[in-house]
């Protein structure tokens, strides 16, 4: 289980494939960070709207 890389710059350079490797991992990380935020925001909006409708229907 030893670390394969000799230095941080080796790791970042990815043997010359940095753009391809980090472009893949970066976009994946971005999507997996943003999707839950959108889902949570949608939940908040839905709850606010439904509560408003519920209050209005009481009158």
The least distance separating other proteins from the CB of residue 57, rounded to whole angstroms, comes to 10
Both tokens of residue 4? Answer: 């394969």
12 part of the interface to other proteins, by CB under 8 A = no
Q: Which of 6, 53, 58, 59 binds other proteins (CB under 8 A)?
A: 53
* DSSP-assigned states of every residue in 1-59: -----SSHHHHHHGGGTHHHHHHHHHHHHHHHHHHHHHHHHHHHHHHHHHHHHHHHHH-
Q: Which residues bind other proteins (CB under 8 A)?
A: 1-5, 11, 14-17, 19-21, 23-25, 27-28, 31-32, 35-36, 39-40, 42-44, 46-48, 50-51, 53-54
């Amino acid at each position: 289980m030893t670390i394969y890389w000799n230095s941080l710059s080796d790791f970042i350079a990815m043997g010359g494939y940095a753009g391809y490797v980090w472009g893949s991992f970066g976009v994946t990380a971005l999507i997996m960070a943003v999707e839950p935020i959108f889902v949570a925001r949608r939940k908040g909006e839905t709850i606010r709207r439904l509560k408003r409708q519920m209050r209005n229907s009481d009158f």
